[in-house]
Amino acid sequence: MSVANFLRGIRSNPLFSRKCRKELKFFGKYRQQNLSFVTMLIDTHTHLYSEAFDDDRDEMIQRALGLDITKFVVPAIDSHYTKAMYDLEKAYPKTCTL
């Protein structure tokens, strides 16, 4: 399950939604306490460049960054998406990695 789908709030599986809320509370609790440890959350497989995200791509990325997800690894689906992948990397050079 990609972070983008996580951020969209999957409602079809109530157990998944409950687990997501629990994990967010866990991370939020430690963020609020300003503990001195480094946490780097990376989505290692997301297709944010696909047309499924045309309507809310920027919003999804901003929400993920707000939850301390620092990087997205965007693998290719096929050569049809090559330009879209490079455009996404150009728009978010510090966040998206091919």
Q: How far apart are CA 82 and CA 75, in angstroms?
A: 10
Residue 9 pLDDT class (50, 70, 90 cuts):
low
Show me where the domains of the chain are located: 3-97
In the 8-state DSSP scheme, what is residue 74? Answer: -
Burial 27-42 (b: 16+ CB within 10 A, else e): eeeeeeeeeeeeeeee
**Number of Cβ within a 10 Å radius of residue 17:** 14
Angstrom distance (rounded) from CA 3 to CA 11: 14
Which pLDDT value is given to residue 93?
93
1, two tokens: 């399950």
pTM metric for this prediction:
0.61
Over the chain, what is the mean pLDDT?
A: 77
